[in-house]
Amino acid sequence: MSDIRNLDLNLLRAFSVLLAERNVSRTAKILHVTQPTVSGMLARLRVIFDDPLFVRTQRGLLPTPRAEELEPAILKLVGDAEELVKPNAFDPETSDATTIISVNDYMQSVLIVPMLALLRQQAPNMRVGVRNLEIAELPAMLMRGEIDMAVTIPEFVDSTLCTQFLYREEYVAVVRDQHPIRTKQVSLKKFLSCDHVLVSPSDGSFSGPTDDVLKELGVSRRVAISVPSFHVLAEVLQEDDFIAFMPKRLFARQTENLRIIKTPIDVPGFDVIAAWHTRTDSEPVHNWIRTKLLDVADSVK
């Protein structure tokens, strides 16, 4: 009795070549094996299908009616198997792939907006979904495929994710044009006497990296307002006499009615990275998008 466990793709591949070539020597050459190996494979096929499959003639091998009956199914099985292992071709000009990126509002402005413009030129049929960054669920969302990539800072990812460094960001101290501080250099006393506003995207905290620096100096500031995004920060700054630290690249896009002042303290900057799950690490479309993101990051100063 025939048993599917005796059948493997190598035998089916040999069967398909024998059907096309009708010759053991040519089949062996195509398969890069010896003639005895092909003969042995044919012997196994005859047992599996309980049929001679080919008979020898002066012009080569002649398929039996059973072999001719099997031919369409054999060719389809071999073709489907070859399609499975074929490299996943990716052409940005014709691709209609969809990718979902999770990123905060500042990085949306600095990186994603110019990247979207680039994708529209080079991959006009692709679709990109941009989601606000969800820090707590980030690794799980990447694992489940709810998002394909996140643009964030190293502190928000864990060792299970793949990462790529994009750029190093710096903070600048910013006030509105009408702020009573008129000098570029501000004393510590004057700096502490002003009200401040900061960004706390998830928990409405009134403390951040600036306060850690001040604590080491044994002083503190008054944070009057905590907002969830840098775009809201820019609007709040224009409405009253606050001081705020803003990423330098974002300030370059939010300069209207705002100016930089020199403070007596230096607030540490941060690294911006791309993060993704290992399951998409070798996907051509995702590799290409990550390359484009890196190109944009290199061009944005």
pLDDT tens by residue, 12-40: 999 999 999 999 999 999 999 999 999 99
pLDDT tens by residue, 263-294: 989 899 999 999 999 988 888 899 999 999 99
As a whole number of angstroms, the longest Cα–Cα distance in the chain is 105
Q: Which residues contact 301 (CB under 8 A, 6 or more apart)?
A: 249
Task: Write down the residue that tokens 């690294």 correspond to.
Answer: 271
Q: What is the pLDDT of residue 6?
A: 67
161 in Cβ contact with 275 (< 8 Å)? yes
Tell me the pLDDT band of 1, cut-offs 50, 70 and 90.
Answer: very low
CATH C-level class of 171-268 = alpha beta
CA distance 290 to 133: 17
CA distance 101 to 104: 10
pLDDT tens by residue, 220-266: 999 999 999 888 998 999 999 999 999 999 998 877 889 999 998 98
Average pLDDT for 53-70: 91
| Three-class secondary structure assignment of 7-25 | CCHHHHHHHHHHHHHCCHH
Is residue 3 predicted with pLDDT exceeding 70? no
Per-domain boundaries in the chain: 4-85, 98-169+271-299, 171-268
By 3-state DSSP, what share of the chain in percent is helix, strand and coil, each rounded to 5?
A: 45, 25, 35
pLDDT tens by residue, 157-186: 988 899 999 999 999 999 999 999 988 789
Selection from 118, 116, 123 nearest residue 94 by Cα: 123
Same fold, 98-169+271-299 and 171-268: yes
Does domain 4-85 bear CATH number 1.10.10.10?
A: yes
Tell me the pLDDT band of 4, cut-offs 50, 70 and 90.
Answer: low
Q: Which residue has the higher pLDDT, 4 or 106?
A: 106
Identify the CATH assignment for 98-169+271-299 out of 3.40.190.10, 3.40.50.300, 3.30.70.100, 3.90.1170.40.
Answer: 3.40.190.10
